[in-house]
Chains A and B, each alone.
Chain A
Amino acid sequence: MNEIIKLRPIETSEPLKNLDRICDMESGRMSGKIFWDKDIYEQELEKVFARCWLFVAHESQLPKAGDYLTTTMGEDEVLVVRQKDASIRVMLNACPHRGNKVCFAEAGNARGFICNYHGWSFGADGGRLMGMHESKCYEESGFDKSQHGLRQARVASYKGLVFATFAEDAPTLEEYLGPMTWYLDVMLDMDEGGSEFFGGCIRSTIECNWKIAAENFVGDILHGGWTHDSAAKAMLGGPVTNVGELPESYSVNWNGHGYEFATDVVGNAATLGEREINKYLHTLRPKVAERLGEFRSKLIGAISSFTVFPNFSFLPGQNTVRVWQPRGPDKIDLYTWVIVNKNAPQEIKGKWRRGAMMTFSPTGVFEMDDGENWEYCTKTSRGMVTRYQDLYVGLGMHTRIDDSELPGNVFRGQLNECNARAFYQRWKDLLQSPTWADVPDRNGKMR
């Protein structure tokens, strides 16, 4: 009678039958159904978001013991708390009694968290259950407090970026990121100070599927010269750089992560219209070259974009960092922050914060045009015929560089859809694999 019943994880659901029909990356085509279907979405929550490493915080957001913030992993509400031993714990922000949300604040410092329903009190130290209102009757029924703390996630950090996963069998974070860490260093490791978030989190809603946004950042600079022409003229007085004429650019991907980039040093940064920021990057570049090598020093603010699968993206240069938080197949909450070098002058950090708000935020001149595109990519699939039409994802099938010295799967040119193909392939692989061990390794093989 006093046995604790542990709820076992639900058996992995059967893969949906039509996935190969609606997502065929070898042929470079897919259907809008992947942006619209509720069953697909539920399986994504199970097999993508409950399995992958998801970004939850930057170390700089939690300087002191007891500092916390709340965010989501997929649709799971979580608490991220700095511990006394300097580690970070991530736990479900849902009481294990009846599931009530425990903490309603966005961020703060606390000694613990108390559920409003029955007064279950959880310590800041890893969400340990400290006690309950009417504790005596629990004691009389043989209740074991140690079994009923807040459910913990696995946590790991890479150069300031804190990730978490609820999958016990997921690879380590380093394995998960693979060779993409070489490229992440371009933003996270320019100098010995590393990076920090500057300013707060801006949250907004876009009525689009999370994948269309994540895919845009994983490898779509193709849209830049067309979608963003008017915004570029407003910010720079001229059109977007003619990306097609840049002498050197690449698309790189690995296990669904992707980075497309030119080597023009400040192409992205320049869109903020702040000469001082361009000057800061040019001045810093020799130091970065010493630290990371000549090649990577040319990337620090270049025309580029990056997605860490599934839904963490950023733009070097504009320094905007974001998570596309899924809220149903046709909606995301966009959480966005600004990242800067710790050692950058205060004034430069301020210019970056304002610049990112002017370009990539709910009022951002670039973001608003992206948002409209993505909403309509999603909404047209309301129509049954539209939902099944073939969508072309075939650009750049011939561009793999087999003998590149660069890490990862390397392709020629950033005007390319190879990263999108790799992203959707990884998505499909996860939906079709019962466990992590079953997920295929396609590195070196995809076009």
Chain B
Amino acid sequence: MSQVFLCHRDELEPGTLKKVAGGDAGDICVYNLDGKYYATADMCTHATASLAEGDMEGDLITCPVHWGQFHIPSGQAVTFPCERAVRTYRIITTDKEVFADTSAESEEAELAAASPI
């Protein structure tokens, strides 16, 4: 299992996000969504854009370039022009730190993949 350090547990206020260099995995965007941490690839799946420069709106991340949206927990594409889901990373938290497991997707993403719709 490959772990990437994202941030300290008290570093991000709820409703804020941050871009982190992910090494081989590429840049990662970490979000504090109502006190719970999530992570996705930072690159939008539609065109070249950094999701960390966008806006969190509810549980959606709005891409700053064409304003398409993904569901943060599952990475599902929700609004045009985003069509393909963005890669999520499972979060591992310790006492004080937040990591991304780059070999696993979030639980919500796995549920979405398993869904017949």
Interface residue ranges, A against B (CB under 8 Å) = 111-112, 114, 119, 121, 130-136, 139
* Residues of B close to A111: CB separation below 8 A: 55, 64, 67
Given the known interface contacts A114-B66, A130-B65, A133-B66, the answer about A139 and B81 at a Cβ–Cβ threshold of 8 Å is no
> Which one of B48, B55, B64, B66 contacts A119 once the chains associate, using CB atoms below 8 Å?
B66
A362 smallest CB distance to B (angstroms)? 37
B47 at interface by CB-CB < 8 Å: yes
B104 at interface by CB-CB < 8 Å: no
Given the known interface contacts A136-B48, A139-B48, the answer about A131 and B67 at a Cβ–Cβ threshold of 8 Å is no
Interface size on B, residues (CB 8 A): 10
B49 at interface by CB-CB < 8 Å: yes
Q: Is the CB of A132 within 8 A of B64?
A: no
| Residue ID in chain A nearest B63 by CB atoms | A131
* Residues of A close to B67: CB separation below 8 A: 111-112, 114
* Residues of B close to A131: CB separation below 8 A: 47-49, 65-66
Main secondary structure of the interface of B (DSSP, over half): loop
Q: Is the CB of A121 within 8 A of B65?
A: yes
Interface residue ranges, B against A (CB under 8 Å) = 46-49, 55, 64-67, 81
Q: A114-B66, A119-B81, A131-B65 are in contact. List 19 more A-B contacts (CB 8 A).
A: A111-B55, A112-B64, A114-B67, A121-B66, A130-B49, A130-B65, A131-B48, A131-B49, A131-B66, A132-B47, A133-B46, A133-B47, A133-B66, A133-B81, A135-B47, A135-B48, A135-B49, A136-B48, A139-B48
* Residues of A close to B47: CB separation below 8 A: 119, 131-136
A111 smallest CB distance to B (angstroms)? 7
* Residues of A close to B66: CB separation below 8 A: 114, 119, 121, 131, 133
| Residue ID in chain B nearest A134 by CB atoms | B47
Give the docked Cα–Cα distance between A135 and B45 (Å). 11
26 residue pairs of the A-B complex, CB under 8 angstroms, read A111-B55, A111-B64, A111-B67, A112-B64, A112-B67, A114-B66, A114-B67, A119-B47, A119-B66, A119-B81, A121-B65, A121-B66, A130-B49, A131-B47, A131-B48, A131-B66, A133-B46, A133-B66, A133-B81, A134-B47, A135-B47, A135-B48, A135-B49, A136-B47, A136-B48, A139-B48
Give the docked Cα–Cα distance between A135 and B65 (Å). 11
Give the docked Cα–Cα distance between A56 and B114 (Å). 55
Given the known interface contacts A135-B47, A135-B48, the answer about A130 and B64 at a Cβ–Cβ threshold of 8 Å is yes
Give the docked Cα–Cα distance between A135 and B81 (Å). 13
* Residues of B close to A121: CB separation below 8 A: 65-66
Give the docked Cα–Cα distance between A67 and B88 (Å). 35
Give the docked Cα–Cα distance between A112 and B55 (Å). 13
Give the docked Cα–Cα distance between A121 and B49 (Å). 11
Give the docked Cα–Cα distance between A415 and B110 (Å). 83
> What are the nearest 10 A-B pairs in CB distance?
A131-B65, A135-B47, A135-B48, A130-B65, A121-B65, A131-B49, A131-B47, A121-B66, A131-B48, A133-B47
